[in-house]
Chains A and B, each alone.
Chain A
Amino acid sequence: NAGVTQTPKFRVLKTGQSMTLLCAQDMNHEYMYWYRQDPGMGLRLIHYSVGEGTTAKGEVPDGYNVSRLKKQNFLLGLESAAPSQTSVYFCASTTLSSGTLYNEQFFGPGTRLTVL
């Protein structure tokens, strides 16, 4: 049981390049999230998904797109990278268990992205 995995672990991009970050979870969780972590800013939600085929905007969605074609995968895309998108990106997933509305979020190891 790998939990939540993210690929790649590190990436350096030039301004204007595009890339996709992959998040995968093997816990059959309905909900998946993408955050960015910046010094002094904490974790900020970029986009999230409540189920296969559905996505929604979080706090800082501009410049990012997402897709959830399969329940276990949540992709984060940068169409035209900018230096302001230099950050550490975390994926997380959670589920609604019986009797409890709120649950623990399980996090991936993070992807460190640098945009030059």
Chain B
Amino acid sequence: AQRVTQPEKLLSVFKGAPVELKCNYSYSGSPELFWYVQYSRQRLQLLLRHISRESIKGFTADLNKGETSFHLKKPFAQEEDSAMYYCALSATGTGNQFYFGTGTSLTVIP
């Protein structure tokens, strides 16, 4: 079975402070992992994917297969980072299905 866990429903940090949004997964194969973001009143959009090893808007995420984690990090949070963040796993097999975590609502306090 595939499962994505985001243990924090709510996370608040002060502007300029580091932020880490946790994501753990369970998957029997080789996973493809993503972070999606949903800003207020907007649609979900891709933030970054592990295969690209990219940094988007200052965010990075490293896949740790030993700990089965894909935590999202940013060294200095900005007010515009306030949003809902979803970790997602793409599974092999039929349908190219994505499995989403329950989401973490990040609030950056000015």
Interface residues of A (CB under 8 A from B): 31, 33, 35, 40-45, 48, 50, 56, 58, 90, 92, 94, 96, 100-105, 107-110
Contacts and interface: CB of A to CB of B under 8 A. Distances in A.
Contacts of A102: 32, 51, 90, 96
A109 B43 CA distance: 5
Nearest to A43: B100
Given A42-B100, A42-B102, A31 B95 contact: yes
Interface residues of B, number: 26
Nearest to B4: A42
A43 to B, nearest CB: 4
B43 A108 contact: yes
Contacts of B46: 104-105
Q: Ordered nearest first, which 7 A-B pairs have the shortest CB separation?
A: A42-B102, A102-B32, A43-B100, A102-B90, A107-B44, A104-B46, A107-B43
A50 B94 CA distance: 8
A95 to B, nearest CB: 9
Interface of B: 6, 9, 32, 34, 36, 42-46, 49, 51, 86, 88, 90, 92, 94-103
B103 A42 contact: yes
Contact of B86 (A33, A42, A94): A42
Given A94-B96, A102-B96, A110 B43 contact: yes
Nearest to B87: A42
B90 to A, nearest CB: 4
Contacts of A94: 96
A103 B96 contact: yes
